Amino acid sequence: MLPSTMKAVQQYVFGGPEVLRYEDAPLPQLQAGEVLVRVHAVGLNPPDWYLRDGYKMLPPEWQPEVAFPVILGTDISGVVDTVTDDVRDFAVGDEVYSMVRFPSGLAGGSRAYAQYVSVPAAELALKPKSISHAQAAAAPMSLLTAWQFMIELGHEIQNPLQPHQHAPVPLEDKTVVINGAAGGVGHFALQLAKWKGARVIAIGSGGHEAFLRSLGADEFIDYTKTAAEEVLRDVDLVIDAVGGPSSGRFLPTLKRGGALFPVFPLGFSGAEDAERLGVTVSTTQVRSSGAQLARLASLLDSGVVRVAIDSSFSLQDAAKAHERAARGHIRGKIVLSVIEQG
């Protein structure tokens, strides 16, 4: 028998980590095609703090209408508790992972910081067996982002960030630069590029060098000592997992015919330079996909792609996890443990 309430982290106002409250909340109600998952672990991502704070980083016309109380979070790993009659692909007791309702849940519809989450079956996949719930919860958004940018977009939905669809480029035998390589997206992007046979130059702060080399980086640039754009030339692809207004500085590092993929494209202003230099600039917004997570499960299971955990907190300590995130220099992923692992 399911309880009528669950523990969740809710907020009633926008603000800093202190607005997050661990308390009772109603259990989610299942809609057709959905699965109720008992959550074991939650992976954190930048949209969690963007929503917590009221999307202050977005222009006002892009800020979504939000109804309180809000439950943050998108990425989960757990066990199927209940399925609706029309769900065929999952059964009670299955271990699963997901990025829940993204970007459709941008205004708070994903609701992952909780003991139970309702998930559209199309956004679920069986959890990779050989990794923990914490590692599985850490993967979805960051790994899907790297996958959809670099390997397979996987949908034909209009790109909200540019008029044309994003298209990955070949990576085999190419020189690929990953900026922000130690972070969630970056450490997966690095591993996917290596898997595809690229030579990878990773950029991060100095303390991450050994970590990034252990993931396969061929070269490392400590951006606190060296301006990457002054030493890089003839690069095929730059994945800029930091992005923002300074992303254009990578344009002169690219070969004619090369590409810059800013993962955080807001503020980018190098379109004319890109045209003059003969390089492509392209971005996209990550989308939920159970089918892609199922494909990625085999890469995670086999250890081709490893998940690095920066730090772990209990669900109750979600505010502390957000304080950790605000200090920056994240190496891999921050996770919340909802059910302690045995």
Binding site for ligand NAP (CB under 6 A): 45-46, 141-142, 145, 179-180, 182-186, 203-205, 208, 223, 241-243, 263-264, 285-286, 329-330
Q: Cα angle at 66 between 60 and 68, to 5 degrees?
A: 140
In sequence order, the β-bridge partners of residue 43 are 75, 335
Kindly report whether the peptide bond that precedes residue 160 is cis, defined as omega within 30 degrees of 0: no
Question: Which C-beta is closer to ligand NAP: that of 139 or that of 141?
Answer: 141
Question: Which C-beta is closer to ligand NAP: that of 28 or that of 183?
Answer: 183
| Least CB distance to ligand NAP at residue 39 (A) | 20
Return the sign of the alpha-carbon dihedral for residues 324, 328, 332, 333: positive
| Least CB distance to ligand NAP at residue 2 (A) | 33
Tokens coding 293? 């997570």
By beta carbon distance, the residue nearest ligand NAP is 183
| Least CB distance to ligand NAP at residue 226 (A) | 11
Tokens coding 23? 């308390």
Question: Which C-beta is closer to ligand NAP: that of 179 or that of 337?
Answer: 179
Question: Which C-beta is closer to ligand NAP: that of 205 or that of 311?
Answer: 205
| Least CB distance to ligand NAP at residue 26 (A) | 29
| Least CB distance to ligand NAP at residue 315 (A) | 20
Question: With contact defined as beta carbons under 8 Å apart, do 200 and 217 qualify?
Answer: yes
What is the C-alpha separation between 320 and 237, in angstroms, rounded? 36
What is the C-alpha separation between 95 and 126, in angstroms, rounded? 6
Question: Which C-beta is closer to ligand NAP: that of 63 or that of 82?
Answer: 63
